């Protein structure tokens, strides 16, 4: 006699409490998982990837390896320097990821063994994986500027990793005399952004205007152009008298602005072919950057110091089975922004889930939006949409995105900037 298939409700009822308990235990042991994904690095790239692999396929076991128990975001860290926010307000936890079923290990990944598909942790544990996602962020090229090192950063903070360095630079700004000079050395591209040197100059100038009006910000920059330059300069002219004798901001660009050396004792930057000396009361040195150590040590980086990838899946071009996302990856022409890291992570998560399920990954696209505050109520922005062309090269989509209009409502854009921060934090960590 034909028996109709059981409904899910009838099946669960017949299974009983004991059966359900066994099912839960089995799943907890990973017996029913479709694969094991380990993610190294809990920033915007790694945290988003861990969360979205679980969202796309909750039967995949995901482990996030991150030494810190909380994460201070680089986005909005400039606002702390300008006194617009405090550090607790930009500090995120990983409780949201845990609620999505991500296993958290607060330890440091020291060695990746691609052949064995495992990683070794500082605490001694060994983790095996089917797919590894590496989002290690940046390291600094300490030797690129004579006199600047991991030791002198305490006197000349970079504040390019948010947290203790942000607090240190903020304390120096508050302690500075009225009439002092804040020097910012802008790095050559590519570099992590945000934080951005030009937004940093802007919000510091606003702080000085309100509290130390005889002071100024000097930007030393080997570049002759930068993103949103016209928008920044228009804002500087309106808010800080840029171009006048009383300007709160000065920009020295090109060969004359290339910083060759610094003196931590005297807080002096030496720049240009004539080695002109610029003495500051606060010297914010932002050195050139490269992919985080674990990626370089594992052979994921090329001679540039960054990691080439297959753009469609974010899989390393040098080590199969390992995906690299965020600041460490070469994903030109996309910038090394938090929004790009978040967007790459979703593409990567989708590709990893597809591969573990025996499917072909889909065609990716990415979005970047970068807001900057020229003042607390003066915002500007740039947006782009990217896709792969027929040759597999990333390019901007014609007609998509753009920059703030010259007649934009900058107060509204400032509100959008603050809302954007809330939204991307929630999308990544909640």
Predicted confidence (pLDDT) per residue in 129-171, tens digit: 999 999 999 999 999 999 999 999 999 999 999 999 999 999 9
- Could you tell me which residues are beta bridge partners of residue 126? 120
CATH entry 3.50.50.60 includes domain 32-67+107-141+289-361: yes
Question: 120 φ, ψ to 5°?
Answer: -110, 140
Structure tokens at 177: 């005399």
Distance CA 160, CA 166 (A): 8
Are 281 and 181 in contact by the 8 Å Cβ rule? The answer is yes
Q: Given CATH 3.50.50.60, say whether it is the number of domain 145-288.
A: yes
Report CA 98 to chain centroid distance, whole Å: 21
pLDDT number for residue 23: 31
pLDDT tens figures, 185-211: 999 999 999 999 999 999 999 999 999
- Measured torsion, CA atoms of residues 227, 233, 236, 238, in degrees rounded to the nearest 10: -130
Q: How far is CA 180 from CA 218, 248, 263, 374, in A?
A: 11, 11, 17, 21
Distance CA(6)–CA(42), nearest Å, equals: 43
Same fold, 32-67+107-141+289-361 and 145-288: yes
What does pLDDT average to over the chain?
92
So what's the pLDDT on residue 14? 33
**What is the structure's pLDDT at 11?**
28
What confidence score (pLDDT) does residue 24 get?
A: 38
pTM of the model: 0.91
Cα separation, 244 vs 102, whole angstroms: 54
Q: What is the pairing mode between strands 289-291 and 309-310?
A: unpaired
Q: d(Cα 214, Cα 405) in Å, to the nearest integer?
A: 32
Q: Encoding tokens for residue 92?
A: 């995120």
Confidence at residue 21, expressed as pLDDT on a 0 to 100 scale = 35
Distance CA 289, CA 106 (A): 25
CA distance 343 to 368: 8
What residues of the chain score a pLDDT lower than 50?
Answer: 1-30
Domain coordinates of the chain in residue numbers?
A: 32-67+107-141+289-361, 145-288
**Pair of tokens at residue 359:** 């499917």
């Amino acid at each position: 006699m034909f028996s109709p298939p059981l409904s899910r409700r009838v099946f669960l009822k017949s299974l009983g409490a004991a059966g359900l308990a066994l099912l839960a235990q089995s799943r907890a042991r990973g017996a029913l998982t479709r694969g094991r994904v380990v993610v190294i690095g809990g920033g915007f790239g790694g945290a988003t990837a861990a969360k979205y692999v679980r969202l796309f396929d909750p039967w995949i076991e995901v482990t996030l390896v991150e030494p810190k128990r909380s994460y201070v975001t680089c986005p909005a860290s400039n606002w702390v320097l300008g006194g617009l926010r405090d550090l607790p307000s930009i500090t995120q936890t990983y409780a949201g990821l845990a609620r999505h079923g991500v296993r958290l290990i607060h330890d440091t990944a020291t060695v990746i063994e691609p052949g064995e598909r495992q990683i070794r942790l500082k605490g001694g544990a060994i983790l095996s994986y089917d797919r590894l996602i590496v989002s290690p962020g940046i390291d600094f090229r300490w030797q690129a500027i004579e006199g600047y090192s991991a030791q002198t950063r305490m006197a000349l903070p970079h504040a390019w990793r948010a947290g203790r360095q942000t607090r240190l630079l903020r304390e120096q700004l508050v302690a500075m005399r009225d009439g002092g000079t804040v020097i910012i050395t802008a790095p050559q591209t590519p570099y992590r952004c945000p934080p951005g040197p030009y937004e940093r100059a802007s919000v510091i100038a606003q702080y000085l205007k309100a509290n130390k009006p005889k002071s100024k910000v000097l930007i030393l920059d080997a570049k002759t152009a930068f993103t949103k330059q016209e928008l920044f300069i228009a804002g500087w002219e309106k808010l800080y008298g840029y171009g006048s004798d009383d300007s709160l901001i000065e920009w020295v660009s090109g060969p004359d602005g290339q910083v060759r050396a610094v003196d931590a004792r005297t807080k002096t930057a030496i720049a240009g072919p004539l080695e002109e000396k610029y003495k500051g009361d606060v010297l914010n040195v932002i050195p050139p950057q490269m992919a985080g150590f674990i990626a370089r040590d594992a052979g994921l980086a090329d001679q540039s110091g960054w990691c080439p990838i297959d753009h469609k899946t974010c899989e390393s071009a040098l080590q199969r089975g390992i995906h690299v996302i965020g600041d460490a990856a070469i994903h030109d022409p996309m910038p090394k922004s938090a929004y790009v890291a978040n967007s790459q992570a979703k593409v990567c998560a989708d590709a990893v889930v597809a591969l573990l399920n025996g499917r072909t990954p889909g065609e990716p696209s990415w979005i970047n939006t970068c807001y900057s505050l020229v003042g607390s109520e003066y915002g500007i922005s740039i947006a782009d949409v990217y896709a792969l062309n027929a040759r597999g090269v990333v390019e901007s989509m014609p007609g998509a995105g753009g920059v703030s209009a010259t007649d934009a409502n900058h107060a509204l854009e400032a509100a959008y900037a603050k809302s954007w921060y809330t939204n991307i934090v929630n999308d990544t960590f909640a």
